[in-house]
Structure 1
């Protein structure tokens, strides 16, 4: 057996970086498999591996005989610039903690303790809302366990204690974080940290711990067990907002900034989303991470703080589709055609169902995963989808690509509203070829001019000027074209505009909050002012639009 090291020099630090890459490569699938927090996107192992590879490349870019401080600094810079995901950003701070301490030229038993403590402090400070049961909890407990070693403990004893402390904390993560407890798994980032600390044990002692018996899916008695948290960990903190409410992960590098500007950036990102992590490499560069609904606003916030580069934006829903992480499909029946309509409101659902359409309710948010699952759940070899404005075009294209296979063809028709969907459904003919049927339905939708009436919730500025709370708003597409004193007047003026260029049939789809008399008032207005135009009034029951108007 090799004699244990008493200190880690630049050469040993490079060996550790390589060992981390090898260990993460071996356990990548295991780590991805238990990844449920903050987003169950099965990429924590991949992100840690990518980050560690970037760190190792940085370390090997230093001179062969470079001192440990120089190699550690290069390791940290590489990790910060190449960090991927929450876990990768936190890993970069573990390496930065080592770099901060290694400046004195030594990494021995005492300074490794200091490095782990510094890493824990940096990682905790980087997160706007720390959550217990994550990689940071495991890191803090590992540092505390190493720090508790008796005076005179050699380097091998310290790193073994750190790794054992990490395992102890990891096994308790399901009792600290509800998402882990429900899934019955340990924290994925914490598991990655165990791999990294075990690699350090391997470099120092020559023997890497065997963790084949480490339970990644604890038994029921370990999940949610009262009092199960490690003694060195504080009580669990409240969880942040549900990460599922955010659609995008935004990461970028920031230069030309300072601590004050970075502090302001953190506040702006906290207001935009959650899972905000901002870390520095100690050399004037920061890595920024946030989950949010508006990736453009996150990037703009970065531009206000300094020079932004290396921007990476991921959509969780589209990533899930691309990775096949959406529920399975029914077996398509050859030659069977289905129409799938996205609708909001009981009345609208009844209307579309009466015409033979399958329904996906939009009363709760329609995500790409929900739409894809609905398509795959139809036992049809030909599916025509009426999205009715529920998703943007790019997401619809991605859903269509994911839904098609050798046994199922999918056409997503350009319906931007339910009234356009009704017009398309009216000309549906399943005796035609699917592509011809889809073309006819698309043409019917495109020839239907549509608008809507809403009530302004607050004072705001529109293209037509300023509206006050309670004003009636007439909209064509997504633009306000009428501001009136009430909804009825807004509806009359909107109808005059859309009928100003002609029309033979008006469809009025009344929302759940529409006054009982609104449909009759607007039908009478059309009869008096636009003779010869037929009006059909239906109870739609949609929540957002007081009224949808379609003109053919």
Structure 2
């Protein structure tokens, strides 16, 4: 049993954790509550950790401290690297957990960490993760991290701290189905929480020096038999939501569009502290949207969209000393600028989609299920755009937090990055269609956000497993119709299901229909659906795209 963690032990913890994620990533992928083959939480966690370890090694080699880094250097470099290698929402949350752990270690100044410091670091990790999510939700990785920290609090020995944290996290993970009905209905635990349990299990193994008999172990989160389904779930009309620990992210799908906030307020804030920053976040969150408060402990960067710019600045005065204040009124932006002033970085899941975005003038980053772009890749693409302002289109709900992390990191480098919360490729295409490279980012953003948020979206795919959905039970191989992110139709025929999805998307009208064919779409499927739309909706213009995206034979959009 180790009594203290050294820098070498932390390196070993990271390597053991990476091996655990590699071994069980498919199992965690399968926990995704959707019965569609794009669940990649485990893959995202593994790739986040794997790329971070490579980045740390490379950085330490350049500095000549490989194998000789201090405990503080080891923890801090891993936390910094993970923010940029984070893939998917779960990867971003995990990066914040590691960052919080590193902050506690760094502030201690200790050359090695005893049980008391590790318990404090686990508490800081949980605190950092909860703060990273504007509207947190119970039954996610956040609940698991809090339970681990609470279980370890007050203990002193390294062994008992790691055992207690693992036990607390495992018990909390087992409770996530009772906290989120969608998990209970699917018969699974939270995928992001399962990943955190693996991280803590790796820590316990290192503390026990790989002893064969750990007092506790990770929940067998792949075993559905221990979780009871709720038979009346579909009858209650519950809506399937992706749950991999992200809870809810910041609001703002309609920022700057019709009825959206009128002003963008940005300033640097000095002479503050964590408590006042927390109060500032709550105040600004109530005032508007698109809230970002990043930095610390000596300097913070504040960004928010509000109707009352004065109140946003006054909140900063109460929190510290704001300077370099910039207020922009969306409606008053006039004049034209050179094309180099603004650029778009767009994620694309298939070669056809990539070609469309490229032809429209975007810098494209390959990103899709199983290979989602990391925050670092998105930031690198923003750098390569060589523009004063960059508009980022994630085009995927599970890349939103990585995009926001890239924007936060970009602000630290002086790169102005704005994120349009496009949750699907068709919303990204709608936003790109109104982009004008001769206008500033402030002029483009309201139109792009409005166009994306006004696009109703759907998809057709094949069920990858048996499951209970809000449209009833499905079997592996069934055709699933998805409307607005929820399984709405279960059938056997691709075209029939596609027609029903389109019928629902067009139920309240529509002027432009976009049909994106995937790599597995049967020949003629998209054309047949287009003819059906044109026959019944003569006022609608139909656009066909050979997207080449995996997993989804059809992506559908209606504007």
TM-score (norm. length: structure 1): 0.50
Partners in 1 of 2:204 and 2:219 — Cα distance? Answer: 16
3-state DSSP of counterpart to 1:74: helix
Partners in 1 of 2:33 and 2:283 — Cα distance? Answer: 25
Match of 2:351 in 1: none
Cα drift, residue 75 of structure 1: 0.4
Cα drift, residue 112 of structure 1: 0.2
Match of 1:120 in 2: 126
Q: How does 1:401-412 map to 2 (within 5 A)?
A: 401-402=518-519, 404-405=521-522, 410-411=527-528
Partners in 1 of 2:419 and 2:133 — Cα distance? Answer: 20
* Deviation per residue, 1:382-407 (Å, 9 max, x gap): xx9999885866xx342x23563269
Partners in 1 of 2:486 and 2:230 — Cα distance? Answer: 32
Cα drift, residue 299 of structure 1: 11
Pick aligned residue for 1:135 from 141, 147, 153: 141
Match of 2:187 in 1: 184
Partners in 2 of 1:292 and 1:280 — Cα distance? Answer: 25
Q: Does residue 78 of the first structure (1) align with residue 195 of the second (2)?
A: no
Match of 1:204 in 2: 207
Match of 1:57 in 2: 54
Task: Identify if the C-alpha distance between structure 1 residues 212 and 162 changes in structure 2 by more than 3 Å, giving closer, same or farther.
Answer: closer
Pick aligned residue for 1:217 from 202, 224, 234: 224
Task: Identify if the C-alpha distance between structure 1 residues 71 and 258 changes in structure 2 by more than 3 Å, giving closer, same or farther.
Answer: farther
Cα drift, residue 34 of structure 1: 1.2
Q: Does residue 15 of the first structure (1) align with residue 39 of the second (2)?
A: no
Task: Identify if the C-alpha distance between structure 1 residues 281 and 78 changes in structure 2 by more than 3 Å, giving closer, same or farther.
Answer: farther
Q: Is the contact between residue 89 and residue 279 of structure 1 (CA under 8 Å) also seen in structure 2?
A: no
Aligned alpha-carbon RMSD (Å): 5.6
Partners in 2 of 1:31 and 1:283 — Cα distance? Answer: 38
Task: Identify if the C-alpha distance between structure 1 residues 214 and 387 changes in structure 2 by more than 3 Å, giving closer, same or farther.
Answer: closer
Q: Is the contact between residue 6 and residue 113 of structure 2 (CA under 8 Å) also seen in structure 1?
A: yes
Q: How does 1:299-314 map to 2 (within 5 A)?
A: 307-308=415-416
Q: How does 1:286-297 map to 2 (within 5 A)?
A: none
Q: Is the contact between residue 156 and residue 201 of structure 1 (CA under 8 Å) also seen in structure 2?
A: yes
Q: Is the contact between residue 186 and residue 218 of structure 1 (CA under 8 Å) also seen in structure 2?
A: no
Partners in 2 of 1:300 and 1:75 — Cα distance? Answer: 17
Q: Is the contact between residue 97 and residue 118 of structure 1 (CA under 8 Å) also seen in structure 2?
A: yes
3-state DSSP of counterpart to 2:538: helix
* Deviation per residue, 1:25-53 (Å, 9 max, x gap): 1111111111239x995122122222222
Q: Does residue 376 of the first structure (1) align with residue 494 of the second (2)?
A: yes
Match of 1:235 in 2: none
Partners in 2 of 1:137 and 1:327 — Cα distance? Answer: 29
Q: Is the contact between residue 144 and residue 172 of structure 2 (CA under 8 Å) also seen in structure 1?
A: yes
Q: Is the contact between residue 458 and residue 484 of structure 2 (CA under 8 Å) also seen in structure 1?
A: no
Partners in 1 of 2:7 and 2:73 — Cα distance? Answer: 8
Q: Which blocks of at least 5 consecutive residues in structure 1 are unaligned?
A: 225-238, 248-254, 329-360, 426-477, 479-552
Partners in 2 of 1:424 and 1:278 — Cα distance? Answer: 42
Task: Identify if the C-alpha distance between structure 1 residues 240 and 90 changes in structure 2 by more than 3 Å, giving closer, same or farther.
Answer: closer
Match of 2:196 in 1: 193
Q: How does 1:247-396 map to 2 (within 5 A)?
A: 267=284, 307-308=415-416, 315-316=423-424, 325-327=461-463, 376-378=494-496, 390=510, 396=514
Cα drift, residue 126 of structure 1: 1.7
Q: Is the contact between residue 404 and residue 419 of structure 2 (CA under 8 Å) also seen in structure 1?
A: no
Q: Which blocks of at least 5 consecutive residues in structure 2 are unaligned?
A: 232-245, 255-265, 302-374, 380-391, 428-456, 465-480, 543-558
Task: Identify if the C-alpha distance between structure 1 residues 216 and 163 changes in structure 2 by more than 3 Å, giving closer, same or farther.
Answer: same
Partners in 2 of 1:135 and 1:158 — Cα distance? Answer: 19
Partners in 1 of 2:200 and 2:541 — Cα distance? Answer: 61
Cα drift, residue 16 of structure 1: 1.2
Partners in 2 of 1:96 and 1:108 — Cα distance? Answer: 18
3-state DSSP of counterpart to 1:421: coil
Higher relative contact order (CA 8 A, sep 6+): 2
Q: How does 1:151-190 map to 2 (within 5 A)?
A: 153-190=156-193
Partners in 1 of 2:95 and 2:251 — Cα distance? Answer: 25
Cα drift, residue 83 of structure 1: 1.7
Task: Identify if the C-alpha distance between structure 1 residues 174 and 419 changes in structure 2 by more than 3 Å, giving closer, same or farther.
Answer: closer
Partners in 2 of 1:163 and 1:75 — Cα distance? Answer: 21
Match of 2:261 in 1: none
Task: Identify if the C-alpha distance between structure 1 residues 369 and 18 changes in structure 2 by more than 3 Å, giving closer, same or farther.
Answer: same
3-state DSSP of counterpart to 2:224: coil
Q: How does 1:417-496 map to 2 (within 5 A)?
A: 421=538
TM-score (norm. length: structure 2): 0.50
* Deviation per residue, 1:401-460 (Å, 9 max, x gap): 3563269574564899888638999xxxxxxxxxxxxxxxxxxxxxxxxxxxxxxxxxxx
Task: Identify if the C-alpha distance between structure 1 residues 25 and 414 changes in structure 2 by more than 3 Å, giving closer, same or farther.
Answer: same
Pick aligned residue for 2:103 from 100, 122, 125: 100
Cα drift, residue 189 of structure 1: 0.8
Cα drift, residue 271 of structure 1: 5.5
Partners in 1 of 2:250 and 2:38 — Cα distance? Answer: 11
Cα drift, residue 91 of structure 1: 1.1
Cα drift, residue 172 of structure 1: 0.9
Task: Identify if the C-alpha distance between structure 1 residues 66 and 299 changes in structure 2 by more than 3 Å, giving closer, same or farther.
Answer: closer
Task: Identify if the C-alpha distance between structure 1 residues 23 and 256 changes in structure 2 by more than 3 Å, giving closer, same or farther.
Answer: farther
Q: Is the contact between residue 75 and residue 105 of structure 2 (CA under 8 Å) also seen in structure 1?
A: yes
Q: Is the contact between residue 34 and residue 216 of structure 1 (CA under 8 Å) also seen in structure 2?
A: no
Cα drift, residue 174 of structure 1: 0.9
